Amino acid sequence: MPTIQIKDASDYVGQRVKIGAWLRQKRGSGKMVFLQLRDGSGFFQGVVAKADVSEEVFETAKELKQETSMYVYGVIHEDARSAFGYEMKVDHIDIIGESHDYPITPKEHGTEFLFDERHLYLRHLKPYATLKIRNTLIAATYEFFNKEGFIKLDAPLLTGSAPEGTTELFETDYFGQDAYLSQTGQLYAEAGAMAFSKVFTFGPAFRAEKSKTRRHLTEFWMIEPEMAFYDQDASMALQERYVAFLIEKVLEQNDQELDMLGRDKELLRSYTQLPFPRVSYDDAITLLQDNGFDVEWGVDFGSPEETFLANHFSKPVFIVNFPKAIKAFYMKRHPEREDVVISADLLAPEGYGEIIGGSERDTDYDYLKQRIEEDGLGLEEYSWYLDLRKYGSVPHSGFGLGLERMVTFVTGEEHIREAIPFPRMTHRLRP
């Protein structure tokens, strides 16, 4: 008798098999017990009929508690009524681990309660589907950049410098020296691009922002490509291909999970139609003002502005060439305007806001040295970065995509914390 996983049930129709599973829920009558089972690969129903099993097996099925682990034995049948399409006619049950007073009962629970119980909530449909999609996005990221000829580099998590200032960094003592949890691997990726031409980093990032918004985390994962000989147009073309590729992979591999989450798949598919619109920051400000927003040139966009702009075009949209004053020191100056840098943010529709931020990188040694000093950053800590401009610098561009932001957008989740796998820090510490 084969031991299988639920996901493989279609290959064993009419055969008696063994499956290790947990009980999600159960219902029944005097003659039937319906077990809602999960095994990590999928969800389906096990049917225990009193007339077909021993009294002991039937009583065991009736007394099972939520999240009890067990081996179930029985014959796989097609089930046209279920979304999965298959079920098991159970004839025997071996209990492995008892479960009593499981806290996440089959009723509505508040968000904070579920976050407090996230170590258990991972077992339920919504986080299961979300994290399966997250896994697809991770695998698709490696597939995309490998096909595009990129090399993966790993940037350090402890750094002695602050790429975007120290106000949003977690500081620690590194054997008597100041060190910070990294907020980006970008500067290291720039060094890598000068060696390999096209590189990307993929790792955790940390921002010391005590935020309670639905968009911000203090710990998250970033994908940060850096490309030598790329201008902004080439970078944006790569970005939109990447985003479309991610969405296509989820549509291809996670049909059932998208259904679990109630995601509109046709709407999601529409976001793969390229190219995405390009709108200058100047024009975006005018568009906002014409539609009643009280914004002035020079401000960074907040959630309402980003939501309006992306929804206005009904698809992801690039906002290009932001004011220099609100962007990082390394962004390239516009050739015709001193107050603007060559940069682009990709805004997602449906209220999900910025999912990518990128720019061309300035290559002028003296200008970057001046900007580092103006921002109060130590020249000694950035001497290696300035070296990249001394020894054969070339035009280059890069961008960063926040994985959790992308998961939230693709899954249609309301809160970015639904996209993280474990109880990480948001605005409070969790165990």
DSSP 263-292: --HHHHHHTTSSPPPEEEHHHHHHHHHHTT
Q: Which of 63, 97, 131 is the last residue of a domain?
A: 97
**Residue 199 identity (one-letter amino acid):** V
Dmax (CA) for the chain in angstroms is 86
Pairwise CA distance, residues 192 & 25, whole Å: 51
* pLDDT for res 384: 94
Tell me the pLDDT band of 211, cut-offs 50, 70 and 90: low
Answer yes or no: is 352 within a domain: yes
Of 427, 430, 428, 399, nearest in space to 141 by CA: 399
Which of 30, 65, 97 is a domain's end point?
Answer: 97
Are 66 and 158 contained in the same domain? no
pLDDT at 261 over 70: yes
Q: Which residues pair with 3 in a beta bridge?
A: 18
**C-alpha to C-alpha distance for 153 and 225, rounded to whole angstroms:** 10
Contact indicator for 356, 239 with CB cutoff of 8 Å:
yes
pLDDT at 187: 94
pLDDT at 126: 93
Pick the more confident residue, 111 or 329.
329
**In terms of domains, do 78 and 188 share one?**
no
pLDDT of residue 265: 97
* Burial letters 166-183, b for 16+ CB under 10 A, else e: beebbeeeeeeeebbbbb
Considering the domain architecture, whether residues 150 and 252 belong to the same structural domain is answered as yes
State whether 175 and 39 are in the same domain: no
Domain match, 128 and 72 both: no
Average pLDDT (359-381) is 93
What are 97-135's pLDDT values in tens digits? Answer: 999 999 999 989 998 899 899 999 999 999 999 999 999
Question: What does the pLDDT average to over 405-423?
Answer: 76
The predicted structure's pLDDT at residue 421: 55
Q: Are strands 219-228 and 198-206 parallel, antiparallel or unpaired?
A: antiparallel
158 pLDDT more than 70: yes
pLDDT-derived band at 377 (thresholds 50, 70, 90) equals confident
Q: Which residue's entry shows tokens 């258990």?
A: 120
In a domain, 109, yes or no: no
In a domain, 342, yes or no: yes
**Does residue 261 share a domain with residue 386?**
yes
Query: What residue ranges in 214-342 does DSSP mark as E strands?
Result: 219-228, 278-280, 317-320, 333-334, 337-341
Residue 415 pLDDT level (bands cut at 50, 70, 90): low
Higher pLDDT, 64 or 424: 64
Q: Please say which residue of 97, 128, 153 terminates a domain.
A: 97
pLDDT number for residue 137: 98
> What's the confidence (pLDDT) of residue 427?
39
Are 128 and 59 part of one and the same domain?
no
424 belongs to a structural domain? no
pTM of the full predicted structure? 0.92
Number of domains the chain is built from: 2
Kindly state whether residues 79 and 219 are assigned to the same domain.
no
% of residues, the chain, pLDDT over 90: 82
CATH classification of the domain holding 41 = 2.40.50.140
- The pLDDT value recorded for residue 426 is 43
**Is residue 107 in some structural domain?**
no
Where residue 137 sits, what CATH number does that domain have?
Answer: 3.30.930.10
SS3 for 94? Answer: strand
pLDDT reading at 299 higher than 70: yes
Instruction: Note whether 319 and 386 are same-domain residues.
Output: yes
* 69 and 124 in a common domain: no
Q: How far, in Å, CA of 17 to CA of 31, rounded?
A: 23
Q: Is residue 257 in some structural domain?
A: yes
Beta-strand pair 353-361/396-402: antiparallel
How many C-beta atoms surround the C-beta of residue 233 within 10 A? 14
- Cβ contact 400:222 at 8 Å: yes
Q: Indicate if 148 and 66 belong to the same structural domain.
A: no
pLDDT at 425: 42
What is the DSSP pairing of strand 69-78 with strand 43-49? unpaired
Do 274 and 140 lie in a common domain? yes
Per-residue tokens: 104: 């996440």
**Structural domain span for residue 36:** 6-97
For the chain, how many residues are written? 431
**Would 143 be classed as within a structural domain?**
yes
Residue 209 — very low, low, confident or very high, per pLDDT cuts 50/70/90?
Answer: confident
Q: Is the dihedral of CA 325, 326, 330, 333 positive or negative?
A: negative
Rounded mean pLDDT, 4-19: 97
Average pLDDT over residues 67-86: 95
pLDDT at 163 over 60: no
- Residue 101 burial by Cβ neighbours in a 10 Å radius (0-12, 13-18, 19+): exposed
Whether residue 225 contacts residue 198, with contact meaning beta carbons closer than 8 Å, is answered with yes
Closest to 79 measured CA to CA, from 10, 23, 154? 10
Is the pLDDT score of 292 beyond 80?
A: yes
Q: What percent of the chain clears pLDDT 70, i.e. is strictly above it?
A: 93
**Across the chain, what does the average pLDDT equal?**
92
Does the pLDDT value for residue 272 go beyond 90? yes
Q: Is residue 405 part of a domain?
A: yes
